[in-house]
Amino acid sequence: MKTAIYPGSFDPITLGHLNIIKRAAVCFDKLIVCVMVNSEKVNRGLFTPEERVELIRRVVAKLPNVEADCSSPLIAEYARNGEVAYSDGLLAAYAKRRKAHVVVKGLRAVSDYENELQMALINRKLNPRLETMFLPSSAKYTYVSSSMVKEMARYGAELSDFVPREIIGDVQRKMDSRRDG
Ligand code: PNS
């Protein structure tokens, strides 16, 4: 069974992510969409890791070989504290645990490549059986990112061109609650 992991922050999942998921899902027997901690974004989350997984589950419900997960039960604690890095939260360790040998990453622009290449090399150093495969994002979605979605939602913009329709209400409500709180 060929299992691949599509890791990311997914805060929240976008139409660009969904496009990569659908294209990767046809290449593998199983695709695990895994919410992981990006230490550079750790204190800037809109949704908790559990909420992100729930949103992804809803969006991929009709894709039979795609599952949503987060890297470790400790992920929420890590995200809250922003302190200790549990080795369990490393992508290389997670892949080993899930018996996956491929990591799928979407590339929106050449500028993404430098950082992604470094991560691919580190991941292979930590887990020599782990290959990273890059999928170029569809031209239609090159400008779509979770940060851009949050910015649009903050100003009450229409989100249907950016996030899957199943989660539009969740993003708007979460942003409203942030604004009110
Ligand atoms: O959507 P993002 O924020 O670009 O995703 C980045 C992510 C979460 C995939 C990356 O930061 C990651 O792999 N985090 C887990 C920790 C890890 O294994 N880091 C890479 C080796 S230092």
Task: Given the residues 22, 41, 154, 173, select the one marked as catalytic.
Answer: 41
Q: Are 27 and 178 in contact (CB under 8 A)?
A: no
Confidence check: pLDDT of 84 > 50: no
Question: What's the pTM?
Answer: 0.93
Active site residue 165: no
**Phi and psi for 162 in degrees, rounded to 5?**
-120, -35
- 115 alpha carbon to ligand 1 midpoint, in Å? 10
Task: Given the residues 9, 146, 150, 174, select the one marked as catalytic.
Answer: 146
Supply the residue whose CA is at minimum distance from atom 3 of ligand 1. 9
* pLDDT tens per residue across span 149-166: 999 999 999 999 999 999
Active site residue 99: no
**b/e burial code for range 152-178 (CB count within 10 A of at least 16 → b):** bbeeeeebeebbbeebbebbeebbeee
* pLDDT tens per residue across span 5-32: 999 999 999 999 999 999 999 999 999 9
Q: Are 106 and 69 in contact (CB under 8 A)?
A: no
In angstroms, the Cα distances linking 114 to 107, 161, 165 are 11, 28, 32
Q: Which atom of ligand 1 is nearest to the CA of 38?
A: 11
Joined together, the tokens standing for residue 18 give 């969904």
Lowest mean pLDDT among 52-56, 86-90, 92-96, 119-123: 86-90
pLDDT at residue number 40: 84
Supply the residue whose CA is at minimum distance from atom 10 of ligand 1. 38
